[in-house]
Amino acid sequence: NAGVMQNPRHLVRRRGQEARLRCSPMKGHSHVYWYRQLPEEGLKFMVYLQKENIIDESGMPKERFSAEFPKEGPSILRIQQVVRGDSAAYFCASSPPGTEWANVLTFGAGSRLTVL
Amino acid sequence: DQQVKQNSPSLSVQEGRISILNCDYTNSMFDYFLWYKKYPAEGPTFLISISSIKDKNEDGRFTVFLNKSAKHLSLHIVPSQPGDSAVYFCAASGAGGSQGNLIFGKGTKLSVKP
């Protein structure tokens, strides 16, 4: 019974390149969330998605960042033209349908992005 | 402007004693609070939660207390064990945010010494 799977675990990019981070939610979970953790900071909400729908992207930077959760396959967080300030740990989380456990998120191990 | 604050970056406790981790919040509209534990190179793991309609929730060695008037919550771990050594994050939800939009504190690193 695999948990939330994220890959790659570590990604190194040069300034101006693109970064793609993937997330497969826990089996039976239909809600996916992306969070970012900068050094010495707490986790910050970025986006909440359901299949083929972005529900809340209030935490996403206005430019260069996008997220999708297609009908088939994992959720993707895409960062275009990366800058050094994008270096962070990106965590994906999922939750089951229904409202009772809506805010009890199961997190993946994270993807650590380093921009040179 | 931090809405959830964990003012102690670190805490050291002897094995077998009580660990008390504190968390303050500023937004009175938060209606649900959670504690997560995080080991290095892993994702946060849900520990315990409390709704704003309660003032205490207990699960084994872990108890969370909520004081709404003071906008303060605390996590008590008793007895503390070396395996409890980790970073503990307090998080809050509600206040108009969508499902899963949790506001996290910066965390407190707990070290439990044998």
Q: Which two tokens stand for residue B60?
A: 């084994």
Neighbours of B39 (CB within 10 A): 13
B99 with A31: Cβ contact below 8 A:
yes
B98 with A55: Cβ contact below 8 A:
yes
As a whole-number percent, the residues of chain A with pLDDT over 90 amount to 78
Checking if the pLDDT of A30 tops 80, the result is yes
Q: Which two tokens stand for residue B19?
A: 């660990």
Q: What is the pLDDT of residue B94?
A: 84
Instruction: Give whole-number Cα distances, A19 to A13, A36, B94, in Å.
Output: 7, 14, 32
Q: What is the pLDDT of residue A1?
A: 54
Q: For residue A93, which residues of chain B lie inside 8 Å, CB to CB?
A: 43, 100
Phi, psi of B72 (to 5 degrees): -140, 140
Reported as a pLDDT band with limits 50, 70 and 90, residue A103 is: confident
Q: What is the pLDDT of residue B11?
A: 97
Q: For residue B97, which residues of chain A lie inside 8 Å, CB to CB?
A: 45, 56, 58
Neighbours of A109 (CB within 10 A): 18
Q: For residue B42, which residues of chain A lie inside 8 Å, CB to CB?
A: 109-110
Q: For residue A95, which residues of chain B lie inside 8 Å, CB to CB?
A: 99-100
A82 touching chain B per CB within 8 A: no
Q: Which of B32, B104, B107 faces A103 most closely, judged by CB atoms?
A: B32
Tell me how far apart the alpha carbons of residues A27 and A96 are, in angstroms, rounded to a whole number. 9
A45 with B101: Cβ contact below 8 A:
yes
Q: Per mean pLDDT, which range of A20-29, B44-53, B75-84, B92-101 is the poorest?
A: B92-101
Query: DSSP letter string over B53-67?
Result: T-SEEEETTEEEEEE
Residue pLDDT, tens place only, B8-55:
999 999 999 999 999 999 999 999 999 999 999 899 999 999 999 999
Residue pLDDT, tens place only, A47-102:
999 989 999 999 999 899 999 999 999 999 999 999 999 999 999 999 988 766 66
For the residues A101-108, what does the mean pLDDT come to?
83
Checking if the pLDDT of B60 tops 90, the result is yes
Tell me how far apart the alpha carbons of residues A104 and A101 are, in angstroms, rounded to a whole number. 5
Interior/surface letters B41-50, b for 16+ CB within 10 angstroms, e for the rest: eebbebbbbb
| Closest chain B residue to A107, measured at CA | B43
Instruction: Give whole-number Cα distances, A31 to B67, B100, B102, in Å.
Output: 31, 9, 14
For the residues B106-111, what does the mean pLDDT come to?
97
Identify whether the C-beta of residue A77 lies closer than 8 Å to the C-beta of residue A96: no
Q: What is the pLDDT of residue A116?
A: 95
For the residues B78-86, what does the mean pLDDT come to?
97
Q: What is the pLDDT of residue B79?
A: 97
B101 touching chain A per CB within 8 A: yes
Query: DSSP letter string over A27-86?
Result: TT--EEEEEEE-TTS-EEEEEEEETTEEEE-TTS-SSSEEEE--SSS-EEEEE-S--GGG
B106 with A93: Cβ contact below 8 A:
no
Q: What is the pLDDT of residue B42?
A: 92
Chain-wide mean pLDDT for chain B?
94
Q: What is the pLDDT of residue B2?
A: 82
